[in-house]
Amino acid sequence: MSMDTQDKLKILADAAKYDASCSSSGAKRSNRGKGLGNATGSGICHSYTPDGRCVSLLKILLTNRCIYDCRYCVNRVTNDVPRAGFTVEEVVRLTIEFYRRNYIEGLFLSSGVVGDSDRTMDLLAEVARRLREEEDFHGYIHLKGVVGASDEALAKAGRYADRISANAELPVQGDLDRLAPEKSLKEAESAMGFIKAGIDQSKDRGRRTRAPRFAPAGQSTQMIVGATPSSDAIILNTAHRLYDAHRLKRVYYTAYSPIPNAHQDLPTETPELIREHRLYQADWLLRFYDFSVEEVVTKADGNLDLELDPKMAWALANRAFFPVDINRAPREALLRVPGLGTRSVGKILQARRQRRLREADLRQLRAPIKRVMPFIVAADSWDAAAKTLDAQDLRTRVKPRNEQLMLFEAKTSAVTGQV
C-alpha cells in the first residue's frame, strides 16, 4: 500500500525535530514521538530572520532514509524505524499549500543522505529552485548544507536558499570518530568555508550589480551536547573558532536526547536542559561581551556552572574586579556587571553625561537591581556595594530561586541568547 502525503508528513516532520538549526526545535515537548499532535511534530517550527522577525517554518526531512550510521541519530541506517521519502514535487506542493493557507512563512528542509551527499544536496536545492523559479515563492527557505556535497550542489543551494546550515554535529573529530566515524569536522568546515566565500562574493557583486544574493541570511551550524564527555570549554572553543573562521550567524547547541534503540556508547539520560541554556548564554558573552572561553568557564572540570549564569559565575570568581563605578567606568567594565546588558549600558553612558547616577536612576532604567547592586557603586551606594561583595552568602543570594521560570527562559533563550 502506498503511503499518502499525510503519512509521510507524520514521519518526516517527526524525524526533523531532532535538527536544532531551526530555533524552536531545541524545545522539549512532552508528547515527543506522537507525530502530528504537537507543534514540533506537525512540522511547524519557529525561526528568526536576520532582522529579528519570528517566522513559522514547515520543518521536514525530504527523506529519513540514510546511508550513514551516526549513532546519536534516529535515522541512522541500522535503526529500525518506519522510512519515508517525499519527492521534490511533493515538498514543493506542501510548502505552497501551507503557505497559501497562512500556516507557514517558509520552509526548513533537511534530509538523510540518499545515494550520496552530492545527490542529496542537489535534491534539496532543487526544491528551493522550483519554489523560487516556478512558483515565484518569496518565503524564507533554510536548507541543510549536506557535508561532502560538491561545490556545484552547494552553490545551487546558496543561490535559492536564504540560510544554509552545514552541521559540525560534535565538537571534535575524536567524538565523531566514536559516534559518527564516516563524518569529518574538516569536511564540515570545508562546506562552511565554501558557503562563506559564496556569501562574501555575492555581497561584493551586490554592491556593483543587482544580482541575487547568495544565502542572504547567512549560515549556521549545530552541535550536539552531552552525547560524549566533551566539556563545555571544548564545545565553546570549537564554536568560537567556527564563528571566527566562517562568520556563522548562529551555533545551535542541542542537548542529546536519548533515542529509541540507542547505541550502547550513548548516555541513557538527557543532559540537563539547563546546560544547553548556559551554553547559549556563554556563547552570547563570547560574541557580544568580549569574554573569552577561559573566562566564562569557571569550573575546574571545564564545564559551565549550572547554578548561575556564566556572567554571574565569572563575577563571583573575580570579585576583585568589582565594584564598578557606574559614573566613571568604561563601557567594557560596565558590560561585565551581571544584569547589565548592552542596552542598559548604552543608556547608562548616555544618562551619566547629564548627571551623576544614583540607585534610583538604575531602577528607572529597569536594571535588575538585586543582581546589579552588589557589583556596582552609584553616587549614593558606595558603602553598601563594598559590604555585599565580601559577603559569604552572596552566591546563595544571587542564585535564581525559581527554577521553573529558569527552565522556561532556557527555551526562549535558545533563540535570543540573552544574558
Cβ closer to ligand SF4: 70 or 410?
Answer: 70
Least distance CB 148 / ligand SF4 (angstroms) = 9
76 binds ligand SF4 (CB under 6 A): yes
Task: State the number of binding residues for ligand SF4 (CB under 6 A).
Answer: 8
Stretch that binds ligand SF4, among 22-30, 68-76, 128-136, 329-337 (CB under 6 A): 68-76
Binding to ligand SF4 in span 112-141, by CB under 6 A: 112-113
Determine the interface stretch with ligand SF4 among 71-79, 212-220, 273-281, 313-321 (rule: CB under 6 A).
71-79
Q: Which residue, 168 or 376, is less far from ligand SF4 as judged by CB?
A: 168
Per CB under 6 A, the list member of 75, 120, 165, 237 interacting with ligand SF4 is 75
Window 305 to 324, contacts with ligand SF4 (CB under 6 A): none
Among 32, 48, 68, 184, binds ligand SF4 (CB under 6 A): 68
**Segment near ligand SF4 (CB under 6 A); pick from 72-80, 157-165, 200-208, 382-390:** 72-80
Q: Which stretch binds ligand SF4 (CB under 6 A): 67-75, 99-107, 242-250, 395-403?
A: 67-75
Closest distance between ligand SF4 and the C-beta of residue 72, in Å? 7
Decide if residue 259 touches ligand SF4 (CB under 6 A).
no
Q: Which stretch binds ligand SF4 (CB under 6 A): 66-74, 237-245, 276-284, 391-399?
A: 66-74
The CB-of-167 to ligand SF4 minimum distance in angstroms stands at 8
Binding of ligand SF4 by 73 (CB under 6 A): yes
CB of 71: closest distance to ligand SF4 in angstroms? 9
Kindly tell me which residue out of 44, 66, 398, 410 binds ligand SF4, with binding defined by CB under 6 A: 66
Mapped to the 3 state alphabet, what secondary structure does the chain carry?
A: CCCCHHHHHHHHHHHHCCCCCCHHHHCCCCCCCCHHHCCCCCCEEEEECCCCCEEEEEEEECECCCCCCCCCCCCCCCCCCCCCECCHHHHHHHHHHHHHCCCCCEEEEECCCCCCHHHHHHHHHHHHHHHHHHCCCCCEEEEECCCCCCHHHHHHHHHHCCEEECCCECCCHHHHHHHCCCCCHHHHHHHHHHHHHHHHHHHHHHHHCCCCCCCCCCEEEEEEECCCCCCHHHHHHHHHHHHHHHCCCEEEEEECCCCCCCCCCCCCCCCCHHHHHHHHHHHHHHHHCCCCHHHHCCCCCCCCCCCCCHHHHHHHHCHHHCCEECCCCCHHHHCCCCCCCHHHHHHHHHHCCCCCCCHHHHHHCCCCHHHHHHHEECCCCHHHHHHHHHCCCHHHHHCCCCHHHHHHHHHHHHHHCCC
